[in-house]
Amino acid sequence: MSKWLKILISITLFIICIGGVLYYSEYRTKNFVNAVDSDLDNFKYFVDSISILEMENDGFNTKLVAANKDEKLYSKLYSTLINWEVKRTLTKDFDTKNSYQIVITRGTHSINTLNVLISKDGIMNFNGKNYQLKKENIEELLEIIK
C-alpha cells in the first residue's frame, strides 16, 4: 500500500470513531435531568416551580397545577421527574393532540423557563429535540396532582 492510502484509511477510521462516540453520547438512554441540564445539583438548586398544562386543540392551554419550591406537591413532582429515563429519537414525530406542557421555572424571570412538551404516548420535545420516555409516562404526574 502506498503511504497516502494508509494515511487516508487512518483518517477515515478516526472520523468514524469520533462520529460513533458523539452519536452514542447524544442518543443513549439518560436521566431526564441530565438531558435537560446535565447537573442534578444545579437543577435542584435553580428550579423554583413546576407547572403542568393540558394543551387543547383550539390553541388554549388549561393549567392543571403549579407547584412552588416550598410546597409538598413540588417535591412529589420533582422526585418523579428526576427518576424519568429518556432517549433521544429522530424517528417519532411529536403529536400535538392530547398533549401536555411541563413548565419548569428557574428563578423569578420568565426568560429562565424550560418548556417540555409531552404527548400521551411518551414523546417529549424540549430544546428543539424529540425524546422518548423509556418506561414512565405523563400519567404518573397526572396521578400525583389528582
How far is it, in rounded angstroms, from Cα 62 to Cα 15?
Answer: 48
- 51: domain CATH number is 3.30.1490
Give pLDDT, residue 29: 80
Residue 3 within a domain: no
Q: Say how many Å lie between the first and final Cα of the chain, rounded.
A: 71
DSSP collapsed to 3 states, the chain: CCHHHHHHHHHHHHHHHHHHHHHHHHHCEEEHHHHHCCCHHHHHHHEEEEEEEEECCCCCEEEEEEEECCCHHHHHHHHHHHCCEEEECCCCCCCCCCEEEEEEEECCCHHHEEEEEEECCCEEEECCEEEEECCCCHHHHHHHHC
Count CB atoms within 10 A of the CB of residue 133.
19
How far is it, in rounded angstroms, from Cα 61 to Cα 93?
Answer: 21
How far is it, in rounded angstroms, from Cα 74 to Cα 44?
Answer: 11
Residue 74 within a domain: yes
Give pLDDT, residue 22: 67
Residue 83 within a domain: yes
Give pLDDT, residue 137: 72
Residue 116 within a domain: yes
Structurally, how many domains does the chain consist of? 1
List of the chain residues with pLDDT < 50? none
Give pLDDT, residue 38: 59
Residue 21 within a domain: no
* pLDDT single digits (tens) 71-96: 888 888 888 888 888 888 876 677 77
Give pLDDT, residue 109: 61
Give pLDDT, residue 24: 64
- The parent domain of residue 42 ranges over 30-145
Residue 80 within a domain: yes
All 3 cell numbers of residue 139? 400519567
